Structure 1
């Protein structure tokens, strides 16, 4: 149960980071072709960091889960 909650939180953080990256353009507070506003730069950096860190954490979790499954598979025949 704790693992599902953790993975769910990481997925939500990843999606939140992606939204922060897309928000200035989707919502329209960054005019097309204009110099990036401070809020846009902040959203891009923060969203990129949030999405990147949560993605790396998800990959590490998936690798650990696969390693555990492989370990169980090897020792199930013994």
Structure 2
């Protein structure tokens, strides 16, 4: 149960970061071709950082899970 909650939180962190990166353009407070507003730069840096942390944590969790499954598979053979 705790693992599902943790993975859900990481997915939300990743998606929230992606939203922050996309929001200035989707919502429309950053016009195409204009110099980036301070809010846009902030959203890009913070959102990119959050998305990166969420992605790295999800990949690390998945790799650890695969390692555990592989270890269980080799122990079952003996």
**TM-score, normalised by the number of residues in structure 1:** 0.97
Consecutive unaligned residues in structure 2, runs of 5 or more: none
Gaps of 5+ in 1: none
CA distance in 2, matches of 1:55, 1:37: 27
Question: What count of residue pairs does the alignment treat as equivalent?
Answer: 78
State the shift of 1:77 in Å: 2.2
- Structure 1 vs Structure 2 CA RMSD: 0.5
- The DSSP-based 3-state class of the residue aligned with 2:22 is helix
The residue correspondences of 1:1-78 to structure 2 (distance < 5 A) are 1-78=1-78
Q: CA deviation at 1:32?
A: 1.2
For residues 55 and 26 of structure 2, the distance between their equivalents in structure 1, rounded to whole angstroms, comes to 22
